[in-house]
Structure 1
Amino acid sequence: MALNGVICLASVVPQLGCGDLGIKSSGLVWCRVRDFEGVRKWEPCGVFLSSSAHTPISSFADKNPLILGAELQQVTDQSTRLQKDLSYLPRPLSVTDFSTSPNDGTNVRISYKGVPGAYSEDAALKAFPQCETVPCDEFEDAFKAVELWLADKAVLPIENSLGGSIHRNYDLLLRHRLHIVGEVQLTVNLCLLALPGVQAEQLKRILSHPQALAQSDIVLSKLGVARENVADTAGAAQFVSSNGLRDAGVVASARAAVIYGLNILAERIQDDSDNITRYLVLARDPIISRTDKAFKTSIVFTLEEGPGVLFKALAVFALRDISLSKIESRPQRKQPLRVVDDSNTGTAKFFDYFFYIDFEASMAEPRAQNALGHLQEFATFLRVLGCYPMDTVL
């Protein structure tokens, strides 16, 4: 492994009691090294302490022996005092501390889009059973709630097994600086709800989110009812309940029926019984990557236009036996088109894309680090969105 460069990241650490020794700052020394595959990366290789300007370094040879002895005793006393101060510092956290901490979400505030009873709230409660949920009007509001410290985490849908990807949230992942710290897979149970005493035959219209209406097309077609789109499923239940609409039904969750006092006329009315929505858990800070359980890593990158460039990008994972579980592309919003001059056919236009990839490996594994180092050689932009445990429980 070859050393290619050194960088020092300095920070003031007054809590260490270093002021007594004339030391004003400390930092971490990072060395740029080349690994066995030839990939350059930065690794921590030591720490440094810098002396205060008030105590310049001088030669011991110029000192009077009596003065020198007194100064040495003073340094010894100060060193003892420093060790005493260090003994009161808290013990650094380890991976064991995180793995043994409760995962019930006690005292954790989770933001989500919708009103109480939304499927996103169900996903938040699955991940953190004792959490306090924070409803938001829009997806972006859920992001901002975490950024502004109004919530600790956000739970947002990213894809559905029937409806596909939620593209809006892919764009927001890039626009905001939150980290993916987990995922939740939720089996969707679409229920037909109505006010107490109302039968299915009395319904003339059904209110729900467009995707919920589309996924329950067979049952709704048999009822012969009109369909009305609303912002979210639980919002539809709230509207029918608060306005006492006896001619209107709702497609929503069983929890929404309980919250808004509606009856469940039918359960699992979706056309396909295998209806699963995958949610992402977002936080201000990333979590520690581990290798003792299955982890997934999400990244986004851009590439220059050219033959075989995307093939090369995907090959860095195949070469290291890393499975890709998700590939999504989104046009670049600030630079959606690129003009290429062609003397034969005039002007051709190509879309520039962001490529989002989920791969099944932890960033704690050398093969994942080497794959991203290899990808960075020809990617024009690369960002790790998060490394998090995989959810395998439905």
Structure 2
Amino acid sequence: MALHLSVASGLGFADSIALGDRNNLASATTSCKPTQIVVKKRQSPARDGCRALYSMGAVSWPLNESPFTEELKPGRPAQWQSYCAVLSSQWLDEEQEVKENPNGSANLAVSPSGLREMVQLPRALSSNTDLASQPRHGSTLRVAYQGVPGAYSESAAAKAYPGCEAVPCEQFDTAFQSLELWLVDRAVLPIENSLGGTIHRNCDLLLRHRLHIVGEVQLPVNHCLMALPGVPKEHLKRVISHQQALAQCEQTLSKLGVVREAVDDTAGAAQFIAAHGIRDTGAVASKRAAEIYGLNILAEGIQDDKANVTRFLMLAREPVIPRNDRPFKTSIVFTLDEGPGMLFKALATFASRDINLTKIESRPQRRKAMRVVDEKSGSSVAKYFDYLFYVDFEASMADPRAQNALGNLQEFATFLRVLGSYPMDVKPM
């Protein structure tokens, strides 16, 4: 049994502003329309009866009534719980079904007798249907990741938070919003790969949402070629996987002479083949994905470069307290005025204080994509991209050097935001 709610896309961001800066509540404006919950019913394909489909429409929470502007209490905000209580009576008669089938979705696996049987797995959250469903309360830490069970992100979540309850999400946006809406306690999302480079979508989402980076984890990626049991790799006509995984296995797949098709994630490719029984198609995914979906591994370590590592960020609603007793990293984003030497001046604020930069990434601004500058030559006008600069440096915000560097940078930066100051991942992989 599952509850589904459709929430306006701006809800999480508006409420995160309220959480992140209470002093600016007076200046924030939103439309104050009463919340309406419309209950619809649909027939369950599994048995007679129905499941509730909740639709809130284009709701914009008034900031003074938002469940996130109350004083935060341990566990979950009381007002958020009260909104969920309105829905609880709709599914009490389904409670036994939840106990017997708590995860709500299934995949195919091979039984010892050789027959395929149903194995229960967590169903991926969707931003269109699930982000206002009732949060679960318990002592287990709930960690959101993008993909389905068997994804590399699930392994990263388990490495970052051993013993956690990993919660799959269909899209990166869904993971961010589920954390803002208190459906999960943490999120673990990829930010860069040693072969594929930066995941720019997550850079943009870090700026859009008021969440904090509280840690990092680095995960070795070992791609496997897999197919249904009994299918040799010579019989494969196509291979499906995430586009980065396909690119990282270019040489192996070229030798096979197969057609390559990109899908949303690696484990999802394995799940699709197993669920539909496709015998002429293989997938590139993790060894765990093959075990979960009952596929046979045809080859391991098929990536072109064996040193294939993905760096993941650990996100939370509240920042960690910076310390000086262990290696820390700080991530910031800033913008600069156009002019000669401006980027040099920005980087010099760190170099002059002996602070090591580990990453610098530029991204064109979306809302203000072009900067028009009069070149003072009659009618001559120059047009430039306006850039955001993402920088990681090795220092804690508790370090006076970092404080002085950012203070110096703020003197000429047109925008500056600290995305997080967090412990570095120094564990051996």
Relative to the length of structure 2, the TM-score reads 0.67
Extract unaligned runs of 5+ from structure 1. Answer: 1-8, 11-105
Q: For the residues of structure 1 that align with 2:371 and 2:352, how far apart are their CA atoms? A: 31
Match of 1:268 in 2: 301
Distance between the aligned counterparts of 2:401 and 2:372, measured in 1? Answer: 37
Question: Are 1:322 and 2:355 counterparts?
Answer: yes
Residues of 1 paired with 2:163 and 2:291: CA distance? Answer: 18
Q: Deviations over 1:162-216 (max 9, x none)?
A: 1111111100000000000000101000000111111111111101011101110
CA distance in 1, matches of 2:424, 2:149: 26
Q: 1: CA distance between counterparts of 2:317 and 2:193?
A: 25
Pick one of 229, 240, 249 that aligns with 2:282: 249
Equivalent residue in structure 1 for 2:384, among 350, 357, 364: 350
**Residue 248 of structure 2 is aligned to residue 235 of structure 1:** no
Secondary structure, aligned partner of 2:354: coil
Report SS of the residue matched to 1:292.
coil
Secondary structure of 2:339 counterpart = coil
RMSD over aligned CA atoms reads 1.3
Q: How much has 1:344 moved relative to structure 2?
A: 4.9
Match of residue 190 from structure 2: 157
Give the equivalent residue in structure 1 for 2:219: 186
SS at match of 2:366: coil
Matched, 1:379 2:378: no
Q: CA deviation at 1:160?
A: 0.6
Per-residue deviation, residues 334-371 of structure 1 (Å, max 9, x unmatched): 11001112225722101111111000001111111111
Q: Distance in 2 between matches of 1:199 and 1:370?
A: 61
Report the AA paired with residue 386 of structure 1: G
What percentage of residue pairs aligned between the two structures are identical? 71
Name the aligned partner's letter for residue 393 of structure 2.
F
1:121 alignment partner in structure 2: 154
Q: CA deviation at 1:332?
A: 1.0
For the 8 Å contact 1:291–1:362, the answer to whether it is kept is: yes
Contact between 1:195 and 1:246, CA under 8 Å: does it hold in 2?
A: yes
1:392 Cα deviation after fit: 2.2
3-state SS of paired residue (2:279): coil
> 2-side partners of 1:123 and 1:203: how far apart?
30
Equivalent pairs, count: 291
Report the counterpart of residue 315 of structure 2 in structure 1: 282
Letter of the 2:319 counterpart: P
The answer to whether the Cα contact below 8 Å between 1:185 and 1:392 also exists between their aligned partners in 2 is no
Give, as a single letter, the amino acid of the residue that structure 2 aligns with 1:208: S
1:299-338 to structure 2, matched below 5 A, reads 299-338=332-371
Deviation string 1:277-299 (CA, Å, 9 cap, x unpaired) is: 10101000000111111100000
Instruction: Tell me what 1:226 maps to.
Output: 259
Aligned equivalents of 1:267 and 1:184: distance in 2?
23
CA offsets 1:35-63 (integer angstroms, 9 cap, x no match): xxxxxxxxxxxxxxxxxxxxxxxxxxxxx
Cα distance in 2 between the residues matched to 1:337 and 1:314: 23
Larger Rg computed on CA atoms: 1
Task: For residue 192 of structure 2, give the secondary structure of its aligned residue in structure 1.
Answer: strand
Aligned partner letter, 2:364: P
